[in-house]
Chain A
Amino acid sequence: MRAFNFFLLCTSFLALIMVYGQKYRTEEVQSQVIELQDEIAGQKQVLSALDAEWAFLNQPGRLQAIVERHADALNVAPIVIAQYGSIQDIPMRPVAPDVEGLDALLMSLGAGVDPSNVDGLSSQ
């Protein structure tokens, strides 16, 4: 019975210490959470300011003035109708080059035969 009581006493003390530890850790984590939340809020605020600035800088009205001012340096002009085309307007690709003939030439060169020395080939 005495041993049991002693055991209970020990557990109580242990529990007490653990609860205290837990409490302080919770408080610490809580303050970290608040800190992080404040940081997120701050970052959101910065982000909203940057968003606003980006939107402002990208206004067509603002860009048009800049483009007009630097039109010479940029070498740009509004698109004209002549610049439009359709895929049908593009001519078909010319007939493919004679690949086989070239391959044969390379083969014969590789084999050490110079076709220009072979009679009649250059005239063909």
Chain B
Amino acid sequence: MHDVGPAIAIDGARKSRGHMTKSRIRLTVALAMLVFSIVAVRLVMLAAVEVDDVALGQARPALTATRPALVDRNGSPLALDIQVPSLFAEPRRIIDVDEAVEALSIEFPDMDRKWLRGRLDGDEGFVWLRRELTPQQKERILRLGIPGIDFVSESRRFYPGGNVAAHILGAVNVDNVGIAGLERFLDQREVALLQDLGFARDRSLQPVELSIDLRVQHVMHNELVDALTRYQAIAAAGAMMNVRTGEIVALVSLPDFDPNMPAGALEEGRINRITAGKFELGSTLKPITAAAALDSGLVQITDKFDATKPVQFGRFRIGDFHAKKRVLSLPEVIKYSSNIGTIKMMQALGKERFRAFLANVGMDGSPVIELPEKTQSQIKDKFSEVGAATASFGHGLSITPLQLLTAYAALVNGGDFIAPTLLPRDRIAALANSKRVINERTSDQIRYLLRLNAIEGSGRKAAPDGYRVGGKTGTAEKVVDGKYSDDKLLNVFASAFPMDAPQYAMVILVDEPKKEDERSGHTAAWNAGAVTGRIIERVAPMLRIVPNLDPELDAQLVPVELR
């Protein structure tokens, strides 16, 4: 080694080769380590990731998109999903088309052979043959052993009650999409969203509880079907509502349809008359006029109205159906259903205030309900003198029966206007969204008036002993060719029970009834009233309303001023 100059190190060829080999080995080891660590990381990743079941060959068809079951307030199913087989073919795999056509047309005699041949003859991979078969049919077809024909499970909506709640539930189409009623409402609300997100594949959807009581619903349906034949009516409808919560307990409109075969729903005349039909509801509006007048303080329950002669508006004369031709007290105006007395009452109140009251009790617009089938009521924004006069006894304005029912519920429940609903609701929730339309004293007076009418007036047939029913008849002549017809009537009975502490309100409609026999009439009391009575007699025990024949209960309804 020298002090000056660069040091020169001379390695032998062997040594330098040895160095190179070492670095090469290091490189190889490093590479191997890298590869192994990649493998290790990948292994951990694979172990950590959940195995996708679908990838393992058990993919289920996406056709089983399900809907939530619908149950009534006691948990009885109203609509549920069942799995049914649907038949499809793979024409590509069919060997003998003639044989397949032959075998299948034995099972389905109604299937057009030409159509079937066209369907099977071809090169497609998949064609539907018939959807939603019974398990027995599936068994028989499997036994035929036709190659290229197979089944897939599909969800089908089943309504065990058939027609009983048709207009509430609505229906679904073959792809399980709601097309009417609550089914459609639910689709719009959530099912569509869930299915989009892919959550609705499994049967984990929680059942949707409704406010309907299936037993009450059945009784109402049963009695209305009976009414159709008994009075040879063209239609009948009814709804019952819990006046404390606004829950609809039963809602029937006849003629109806079987939701299991929804094609019938579109036929003429099958609309939901309770929410999508508007009518002149006649004298059932008189208690509403009375409530408006009494609540304003401008009319007292002790007031008397001169009904000796008809009211004259220019060339129009309005008289009474059961003319008494004397001075009537306010309770008598309701009891004898006096048009003249009601007009006087409305005039004492003033037509603007009367119109405002109608708006206040929800008569304007369409009824508030979950069903998509609704119509708007028809009331003039401003009443003329004669318009207000006719409106006071229910003519010249069309409202839906549900709006009438809601107004009656508010009149008897102490004065709280509670919007109706088909979903369960408790008293607290109901009161939170309620509005006060009359004060409690007026409500007490209306309850007395309705009960009086049921004891002494037109509602006698509607009041079975012991259940303290109160109500008002309405007989409206239908307009035929621009004129009011004498024999084509729309009869309504609006009621509530038990009157000492009202729990339920009900509206019953019978369209164009005929006399049951020679001795009976064809006004509302004879049909809509009688149906109401029969329904209440049957459902009151189910609704835990204890009959009570104590005359003291009725006596207590009489306002102090009249005792």
Q: Which of B53, B77, B153, B160 touches A45 (beta carbons < 8 Å)?
A: B153
A11 CB-CB contact with B under 8 Å: no
A109 to chain B, nearest CB (A): 51
Chain A residues near B53: list those with CB within 8 A.
34, 37
Chain A residues near B153: list those with CB within 8 A.
45
CA distance A51 to B215 in the complex (A): 19
Chain B residues near A84: list those with CB within 8 A.
466, 546-547
SS of A interface (majority): helix
CA distance A45 to B161 in the complex (A): 20
List B248-275 residues whose CB lies under 8 Å from chain A. none
Most buried by B among A37, A45, A60: A60
A61 touches B222 (CB 8 A): yes
A38 CB-CB contact with B under 8 Å: yes
A19 to chain B, nearest CB (A): 11
A52 touches B161 (CB 8 A): no
Question: C-beta contact mask, A40-81 vs B, less than 8 Å → 1, else 0?
Answer: 010011001101100110111100100000000000001101
B363 to chain A, nearest CB (A): 34
A114 to chain B, nearest CB (A): 56
Q: Take A81-B466, A84-B546 as given contacts and tell me if A56 and B81 are in contact as well, using a CB distance cutoff of 8 Å.
A: no
B418 CB-CB contact with A under 8 Å: no
A60 touches B215 (CB 8 A): yes
B76 touches A61 (CB 8 A): no
Question: C-beta contact mask, B133-170 vs A, less than 8 Å → 1, else 0?
Answer: 00100000000000000000100001011101000000
B449 CB-CB contact with A under 8 Å: no
Q: Which of B58, B80, B218, B541 touches A48 (beta carbons < 8 Å)?
A: B80
CA distance A88 to B61 in the complex (A): 64
A30 CB-CB contact with B under 8 Å: yes
Chain B residues near A45: list those with CB within 8 A.
83, 153
B160 touches A60 (CB 8 A): no
B83 touches A51 (CB 8 A): no
A49 touches B547 (CB 8 A): no
Q: Take A59-B160, A61-B164, A81-B549 as given contacts and tell me if A48 and B81 are in contact as well, using a CB distance cutoff of 8 Å.
A: yes
A22 to chain B, nearest CB (A): 12
CA distance A55 to B82 in the complex (A): 12
Interface size class of A (residues with CB under 8 A): 20 to 34
Interface size class of B (residues with CB under 8 A): 20 to 34
B351 CB-CB contact with A under 8 Å: no
A52 touches B158 (CB 8 A): yes
In the complex, the chain A residue whose C-beta lies closest to that of B203 is A44
CA distance A34 to B53 in the complex (A): 9
In the complex, the chain B residue whose C-beta lies closest to that of A84 is B547
Chain B interface residues (CB < 8 Å from chain A) = 53, 56-58, 60, 76-77, 80-83, 135, 153, 158, 160-162, 164, 203, 214-215, 218-219, 221-222, 465-466, 538, 541, 546-547, 549
Chain A residues near B82: list those with CB within 8 A.
48-49, 52
In the complex, the chain B residue whose C-beta lies closest to that of A56 is B160
Chain B residues near A78: list those with CB within 8 A.
538
A38 to chain B, nearest CB (A): 7
A59 touches B538 (CB 8 A): no
B203 touches A79 (CB 8 A): no
A61 touches B161 (CB 8 A): yes
B133 to chain A, nearest CB (A): 13
Q: Which of A37, A44, A58 touches B76 (beta carbons < 8 Å)?
A: A58
B222 touches A64 (CB 8 A): yes
A79 touches B221 (CB 8 A): no
B164 touches A59 (CB 8 A): yes
CA distance A84 to B466 in the complex (A): 11
Closest 8 CB pairs of A and B: A60-B218, A55-B160, A56-B160, A45-B83, A55-B77, A81-B547, A81-B466, A52-B82
In the complex, the chain A residue whose C-beta lies closest to that of B541 is A79
Chain A residues near B162: list those with CB within 8 A.
59, 61
B83 touches A34 (CB 8 A): no
A41 to chain B, nearest CB (A): 8
27 A-B interface contacts by CB (under 8 A): A34-B53, A34-B56, A34-B58, A37-B53, A37-B58, A44-B83, A44-B203, A45-B83, A45-B153, A48-B81, A48-B82, A48-B83, A48-B203, A51-B77, A52-B80, A55-B76, A55-B80, A59-B162, A59-B218, A60-B164, A60-B219, A61-B221, A64-B222, A78-B538, A81-B465, A81-B547, A86-B546
